A and B are shown apart, each in its own frame.
Chain A
């Protein structure tokens, strides 16, 4: 028996001694059932609105959390929105993106000055571009699942993060995210990281004053695509 096994046994023995009061028989069956179909959580009213209202809620919360929100009518307009945002903020016209085919296949030739690099982010990258797996209206939150399409470093290393949100990504509340994740990765599985992002990085650790850009991005720009 390895030393980890021994320590494991000790911990379980101690836990079970404390749980004696909870009739050990039948617990396993009840839990298997609960894991299979978890009791319906209390979903706040605000998370149960129709799409148009969800979109407004999502935008409102994100802006309140210091993100910039740009709305475009179709995905063809994304390159222009990206370049426009970078120019308006005096940022380099060079973005790092993953292997996401939706982003790759956009017509980037419409913005010849905009350089696009694929792969994980490195320390010198200044702008990251991602497409989200889901967007939560309830709290104004982006959901990004890691992988070759969407390397996790893009969300955290560059000072500026631009995220594309399609209408179909928007969900009312957290429950909609779980549904999407289970559909994509299978129940009980996940990508290495799933990141909820609700604005630029921030801290209030110095004198309680809010400052953006603690370690992650100083700026977050969300491009909402109405299709």
Chain B
């Protein structure tokens, strides 16, 4: 029953930006992976990697 109009069927009312974000699972997936990867993993790994090696 999937029809072509499915992606553009709600233009009658402007959907608020926040709701657009929340209704987009793949955007959420991106955010939920990117944020911790940058702030936790990459930053943390860089800190460990830059510890000078004991002579």
Query: Bound pair: A and B?
Result: no
